[in-house]
Homo-oligomer: A and B are copies of this chain.
């Protein structure tokens, strides 16, 4: 195995065949290069018999294979282009987003991540720009990566179609670094089109499956560039906030020996001559870490659910942000810690990702996320009361269905003006076996869910840390005690009272941004029907 990256080639034969392979590779690389050079020169010679004044200033660049060529050439980032650079000659490496040839001119939009700038390539003897060169530029396939040398020029009027508005680039050299194929399975322009500004619905949309099938292209839209930067931000904030509070990051195994939480919805793995399972949560392991004196722990990692749910909010594999914490007197010490973590995270996103949030808002119209500090905490019976008042028929100890949760979210929003709240004291009967019963009313429990825009994003509880009570509760839930022996054993070795919770990363990002589908916040989503790309 070795480190996680380059598996040693498993199809490699003996030394002799290896050498043969190397020779072949060398040949292939050479062929590749020749082909590129040929292409470039054939473009240059398109207009025959006429000396091309731009020769050597455009074409297909040969494969960048790290020869060290042009190593002193400095590149400018598109986001840094502005009037301060007026008149300067710069190099940029960008994607050609669109081009429009018009007689002796070609206008292009160049893109780098979320940033765009206009390139003007026009026939110009002084700058040695030939008709051929302009034509070549106009023929570069969209989404190709190109190197452009250009003069930064102030524009007469702001360019509304680009993020860089006050300057454009006057092209001097254009080289194709990596060519995109002519027929793209989707157009970035279509994929990036705002959702709500086309009342007649005449403009082309790209459906979810086409996007996901061609995720590499789809991810290039400004909204997607922003969404996954925000997702990275959620993870970073979650970890930084908890680390500051003294939490230790741990890593828990994904391959486990038994389906620990009831047996349903678990994926089976062939494990050498036997079977194993994919963990549905790090639950048992983070609790063992607490029993092992780590006091406060968190873990970020893949979580698997073999649930045949094809909804807007279910994935078969998602990223869990899990935490667990020992407490002294009352599990509300933990609830307060988690609540504060969320408000700190929301504030961090507001402050550090304002521009990314705005970028997402340009495609998807969404209300800003509202929250209170400290967060609102309601008790389950209060919620039932609110729902009954709103005309919902619901039993006192009945779990909340998804539509009822959403309604409750709206009621809470209108009454308290918050998109985030904590619902405490769930009925014992609707929670997992390891949930601590409420000491004052055994029909309820020391457990809680947390909601964003009316959808659950965290589920947690005080756990039973007494082995006898835990065993009894597991039996009542019909769980095979022999399969969780190691788990129960942890509590026979002395374990402090503790509580925690598990958060679904993709849900947090989806609901923070008010998006309508969890596949929008998973880079390569997995559901019952999708395991590619």
Is B4 in contact with A292, judged by CB distance below 8 angstroms?
A: no
Is B504 in contact with A3, judged by CB distance below 8 angstroms?
A: yes
Is B71 in contact with A330, judged by CB distance below 8 angstroms?
A: yes
In the assembled complex, A269 has its CB within 8 A of some CB on chain B: yes
Is A19 in contact with B443, judged by CB distance below 8 angstroms?
A: yes
In the assembled complex, A24 has its CB within 8 A of some CB on chain B: yes
**Cα-based distance from A251 to B155 in the complex (angstroms):** 41
Among A220-236, those with CB < 8 Å from B are 220, 224-225, 228-229, 231-232, 235-236
How many monomers of this chain does the complex have? 2
Of chain B, the residue at the smallest CB distance from A7 is B261
Is A29 in contact with B437, judged by CB distance below 8 angstroms?
A: yes
CB of A177 to closest CB in B, whole Å: 7
**Cα-based distance from A447 to B22 in the complex (angstroms):** 14
Binary contact readout A301-329 vs B (1 if CB under 8 angstroms, 0 otherwise): 11111111100001111111110000011
Is B251 in contact with A465, judged by CB distance below 8 angstroms?
A: no
Of chain B, the residue at the smallest CB distance from A219 is B292
In the assembled complex, A267 has its CB within 8 A of some CB on chain B: yes
Known contacts A22-B427, A66-B329, A494-B144; A523/B250 CB under 8 A? yes
Binary contact readout A276-318 vs B (1 if CB under 8 angstroms, 0 otherwise): 1010111101001101111100001111111111000011111
Cross-chain contact of A473 among B25, B270, B459, B503 (Cβ < 8 A): B25
Question: How many residues on chain A are close to B (CB under 8 Å)?
Answer: 189
Is A180 in contact with B494, judged by CB distance below 8 angstroms?
A: yes
A-B contact pairs, 23 of them (CB 8 A): A4-B320, A4-B321, A5-B322, A5-B460, A5-B501, A7-B280, A22-B397, A22-B427, A22-B437, A25-B428, A25-B472, A28-B473, A65-B462, A144-B494, A180-B493, A216-B490, A216-B493, A251-B302, A256-B531, A267-B270, A268-B269, A285-B523, A301-B301
Binary contact readout A244-275 vs B (1 if CB under 8 angstroms, 0 otherwise): 00001111111111000111110111111000
CB of A325 to closest CB in B, whole Å: 13
Is A476 in contact with B24, judged by CB distance below 8 angstroms?
A: yes
In the assembled complex, A344 has its CB within 8 A of some CB on chain B: no
Is A272 in contact with B306, judged by CB distance below 8 angstroms?
A: yes
Cross-chain contact of A494 among B3, B178, B469 (Cβ < 8 A): B178
Known contacts A2-B504, A329-B68; A494/B243 CB under 8 A? no
Is B5 in contact with A459, judged by CB distance below 8 angstroms?
A: yes
Residues of the B chain whose Cβ atoms lie less than 8 Å from the Cβ of A10: 261-265
Cross-chain contact of A178 among B331, B442, B496, B533 (Cβ < 8 A): B496
Is B262 in contact with A7, judged by CB distance below 8 angstroms?
A: yes
Given contacts A3-B457, A12-B430, 10 further A-B contacts (CB under 8 A): A1-B265, A3-B320, A3-B502, A5-B503, A6-B502, A7-B280, A25-B442, A70-B329, A71-B329, A178-B491
Residues of the B chain whose Cβ atoms lie less than 8 Å from the Cβ of A66: 329-332, 436, 439, 446, 462, 497
Residues of the B chain whose Cβ atoms lie less than 8 Å from the Cβ of A370: none
Residues of the B chain whose Cβ atoms lie less than 8 Å from the Cβ of A193: none
